[in-house]
Amino acid sequence: MMMSRGGPKAAKSLLTAVGPRLFSTTTTTIRTISSHEALSASHLLKPDVASTWIWTRAPTIGGMRFASTITLGEKTPTKEEDANQKKTENESTGGDAAGGNNKGDKGIASYWGVEPNKITKEDGSEWKWNCFRPWETYKADLTIDLKKHHVPTTFLDRLAYWTVKSLRWPTDLFFQRRYGCRAMMLETVAAVPGMVGGMLLHCKSLRRFEQSGGWIKALLEEAENERMHLMTFMEVAKPKWYERALVITVQGVFFNAYFLGYLISPKFAHRMVGYLEEEAIHSYTEFLKELDKGNIENVPAPAIAIDYWRLPADATLRDVVIVVRADEAHHRDVNHFASDIHYQGRELKEAPAPIGYH
């Protein structure tokens, strides 16, 4: 009974004492103690840590005052340190992924220690590409046989062959003789199988605790090479908005279809890519014919193509098409070879992967 009677009196006394502080309509105010006062007060708290007290009056919803200490874990930077920080930010500015253009953007500053490497060419000039490095460049093997063809013999071979042939008809209808845009569309599709195959082999290697015989790297190399084809033709053919929309649609459908096809039958998937590369060789051969006839202007080769394939400085679009066609012939051989391995009842890891096969 004494507790019940004393409770209201205690509550009333408490509200009388702190009511103005709990229920106030005063707007929020903040007072920060000066650094000199904070330093003096910090000796009372902890000798080696400087702290400041911030007093605030909360709005009515918050309901009460509170005090907080902000630990100043780092000392105030001096003018010399500020200058060094600004210098680091300026030096960390790098080129973009396509052309290494410095447009005055402020460099990315970080204390993680991941600094951009300063890479130079063999002649000592600055390397301006971030999307590939000098040691990833090569001279295309132009001696490869472009006329090789795998004659379909089994049901899956015929299915793969006619699937590719059926895809060629709408492509011819849409692009006609616009081989620059046609090449751009082709590369957005051709760069998918290597990535999907490499990803699935990577997951399989993790599940089974086994090595892949280098095929993961080989297939990812193929995907990267095809992507570089696209980066090159993007400099030649500027896609329109509806062509970009078509790329998104085709890539979304093809990625998922190929993903399921590879899960069901890798030998069918690789065989189809082999036939797809044969069609690519045919398309680039027609591209060269149009260039030779003068129907397509033989413009100077993009700078990215000159550095990637180590072409001469005066290389033209025709030189680019020739080396790209040679790349497609190598991809044709790799995928037909991978399909043959599966047809023989073996796994890819049992055969050394053709890493660096260009």
Binding residues for Fe cation: 187, 226, 229, 277, 328, 331
Q: Mind giving me the DSSP string for 308-335?
A: HTT--TT-BHHHHHHHHHHHHHHHHHHH
d(CA 150, CA 278): 9
Cα dist. 114→93, 108, 294 in Å? 13, 10, 49
CA distance 106 to 228: 28
CA gap 349, 358 in Å, rounded = 20
Cβ(175)–Cβ(185) under 8 Å? yes
Q: How many C-beta atoms lie closer than 10 Å to residue 49's C-beta?
A: 11
Provide the annotated binding site.
187, 226, 229, 277, 328, 331
Per the structure block, which two tokens stand in for 16? 């009388």
φ/ψ (deg, to 5) at 11: -65, -40
Which pair of tokens denotes residue 346? Answer: 């073996």
In the chain, DSSP assigns E strands to 30-32, 50-57, 65-72
Q: How far apart are CA 183 and CA 253, in angstroms?
A: 19
